[in-house]
Amino acid sequence: MSQFKSGFISIIGRPNVGKSTFLNRVIGQKIAIMSDKPQTTRNKVQGVLTMDDSQMIFIDTPGIHKPKHKLGEFMSKVSKNALREVDAIMFMVNAQQKLGAGDEYVIEMLKGSKTPVFLIINKIDTIHPEEILKIVDQYKEKYDFAEIVPISALQGNNVDNLLNTLKKYLPEGPQYYPADQVTDHPERFIISELIREKALHLTRDEVPHSIAVEIEKIRRDEETDKVRVMASIIVERDSQKGIVIGKRGAMLKEIGTRARKDIENLLGSKVYLELWVKVQKDWRDRSSQLRDYGYRDDEY
Ligand SMILES: Nc1nc2c(ncn2[C@@H]2O[C@H](COP(=O)(O)OP(=O)(O)OP(=O)(O)O)[C@@H](O)[C@H]2O)c(=O)[nH]1
Ligand SMILES: [Mg+2]
């Protein structure tokens, strides 16, 4: 029998290319939040895929962009750090987007790395198959990729093939995590992210980027088996607070209803969710508040 294989695989690329969508698809569970807004992912999120003959640990990272504040700098560090000490790197691009300065920047980061880099052309469901070859040619000129794999993370096209190819690049190794563990993050983190996701989906412009979520309390009521979650949505200005609360609280109620459904799915029990909105002026540029909201420099 062949030996068990295991290893770490980083997923990097510009914002919005579908990194978290891919992670959730292969893990078969929502552990990383997704949205059509750029810069959705802010922390490193590890997803563990255990099979009979292998264990792949995927590392989802924040989309690489030019930081405009301390939060952006933190995100950028997280992404860069994820390139170290992994067995393979998936550089994901969006088939709909032209190879631009953002991709060139990522390619520069990859130069000098000894780790095999896969070019993943995602969202192929949105283009004509003939276009794929053109994209492949453009990227081939820029870097010597170990493999080039077109996929649709949303629809699942070619994802199994990608997993089989990745497996070939993994060394023989131990099973790092128990087979039933899908992520390294505690439930508390995922719950706060699910709330942030709903707030992201329902707001626009600068508001989604200005939101953080802080869990105040999670308590299971032994008698009813209901879980009570108390959380605050943090924004940067009073005007944003007004938007997140909405007319007669309608927006906050909608965020709560949507988040509660996802949290119930995650926990497998009924949830009672209480949300507040707080203003912390310019929190994205304040080190101590970044730490409070889970963007800690020592945790990437
Ligand atoms: N049509 C199509 N849309 C996709 C595909 N993969 C992801 N998307 C969409 O692209 C958007 C961004 O997806 P995410 O998974 O949040 O992207 P990301 O790369 O993690 O983004 P950041 O966390 O901001 O860096 C969402 O609206 C997804 O539904 C795909 O294969 N096809
Ligand atoms: Mg993401």
Give me ligand 2 centre to Cα 32, in Å. 7
Give me ligand 2 centre to Cα 151, in Å. 17
pLDDT for the residue numbered 1: 62
> CA 174, CA 6: separation in Å to the nearest integer?
6
Give me ligand 2 centre to Cα 223, in Å. 38
196 lines ligand 1 (CB under 6 A): no
pLDDT for the residue numbered 299: 56
Ligand 1 closest atom vs CA 24:
15
pLDDT for the residue numbered 2: 76
DSSP helix/strand/coil, 237: coil
Low-confidence ranges of the chain (pLDDT < 50): none
Mean pLDDT of the residues in the chain: 96
280 lines ligand 1 (CB under 6 A): no
19 lines ligand 1 (CB under 6 A): yes
Protein residue closest via CA to atom 14 of ligand 1: 18
DSSP helix/strand/coil, 147: strand
34 lines ligand 1 (CB under 6 A): yes
30 lines ligand 1 (CB under 6 A): no
pLDDT for the residue numbered 97: 96
DSSP helix/strand/coil, 294: coil
Give me ligand 2 centre to Cα 94, in Å. 13
